[in-house]
Amino acid sequence: MFLDDSLSHIPHPDWLSDGPLTPLVPPFITRLRSQHYADRTVIAYVNCLAHFGFWLKNKGLEQSSISPALIKRFLQHHLPNCHCPAPCRSAGSDMPAALKHLLKCFPQNGISQPTIAEPIARELERFGAYLSNTCGVAPVTRNRRMHDIGAFLSHQFGEQAPVTAQISGEQLEAYISQLGSHLRPASLRTVCNSLRSYLRYRALLGEPTAVLSNALPKIADWRHTALPKVLSDKELSAFLVAFDCTDPMGQRDYAIARCLVDLGLRGQEVTDLTLESIDWRRAVLTINGTKSKRVQKLPLPEFTGEAIAQYLRHGRPQTNNRLLFVRHRAPFGISLSVSAIRNSMNRAFVRCGLRDRYCNTHVLRRTAATRLQQAGTSVKAIADILRHQSLDTVRVYVRVDLDTLRAVALPWPGGQS
């Protein structure tokens, strides 16, 4: 039997020893062991795996059928109405976590890519290289745009080589109208942005694409009709004292919160910080993991530096990992994920009684920008600190300064002066 002695007492070992998941169990257990998960957690996850394998076998599905979409179907449709033989793992957070580890045992993290004709695949490869090397976009953005363009080119050309000159404005409009029947405006706007990016790429290659770009509709964006939601001074003070700085994890989360509030870092930028990112003598923080992949140096504020130093001296566990913020629980030896940072900040919002108003980490970035604006910092300086290439992105914060806006506002025609 492939299970070690500590796991041999799972309720249904036959669900794993004779099923589509059989070859995946050893690497699955090895993965959990290598990340120092406790025995009871490994047993729980293997039980979850057995349940999933039993379901696959009853459905007549093979290992090749496993995908994120299939796992989502299992979690959302089977588990709520599960009638599998007891005892089986059918509830709680263990099942999604276990199946997430299962996907990691597949090549390319178990994410199956749609079949794309070879000429279109080569075009997407060149477009992806342009996005990464010329535009410097983040991998997530690059993959999103490649996915959108792959779907469009496959729809337009099938298995033939894509030729931009054969695309008409009417065809673009028809394609967007078809997507509009089932996509939300925000998703439709993302597709249009991907198409504009591709047309700019073709224009750099000498092709006339201005007419096609003008044919793309402008999807209404209502996100900036209201003032950005930010923490008041009182709320920010309550948030910062919500961390237990006598606890190692509390020290880590407080240092992360200072990075988010004082420097306006993104969650991904925080996860990419290393021990070498800080020049203590010059009080400079070097950011390598920006969205544009550009290295940027920022002054390290006193409170931020003190919080990080406290964590390094008294809270950070012994590890060979050079990343600044690391996990304190299994899996050890890896950096915090963006979702882990988000969850730690949300727990702080709960402790200070603000969870009903705020969530996520981006509100802290907006708060940092607003505090800079209220301190008299110029829009250009705020854009530089937040690492925005366009001033339009940060002009929203000008509207927060209501006192200055009242001073320059003209009276409404016909109203009282």
What's the gap between Cα 87 and its chain centre?
Answer: 35
DSSP 78: I
Asked whether the beta carbons of 50 and 10 are under 8 A apart, the reply is yes
Catalytic residue among 59, 189, 342, 362: 362
Burial of 374 (0-12, 13-18, 19+ CB in 10 A): middle
Catalytic residue among 101, 142, 202, 266: 266
Residues 6+ apart with CB under 8 A from 401: 373, 374
Distances (CA, A) of 198 to 32, 59, 131, 211, 294: 41, 41, 9, 14, 22
Q: Give the residues across from 287 on adjacent strands.
A: 296
The CA distance from 217 to 224, in Å, is 19
The CA distance from 200 to 49, in Å, is 46
E-strand ranges in 38-179 read none
Catalytic residue among 147, 291, 342, 387: 291
Catalytic residue among 51, 145, 365, 371: 365
What type of residue sits at position 238? A
Query: Does residue 87 have a cis peptide bond before it, meaning omega lies within 30 degrees of 0?
Result: yes
Instruction: Please say if 291 is a catalytic residue.
Output: yes
What type of residue sits at position 73? R
- Secondary element (H or E) of residue 41: helix 39-59
Instruction: Please say if 266 is a catalytic residue.
Output: yes
Q: What b-and-e string marks burial along 292-323, b requiring 16 or more CB atoms within 10 Å of the CB?
A: eeeeeebebbeebbebbebbeeebbeeeebeb
Instruction: Please say if 362 is a catalytic residue.
Output: yes
What type of residue sits at position 126? R
The CA distance from 84 to 62, in Å, is 19
Give the active site residues: 266, 291, 362, 365, 388, 397
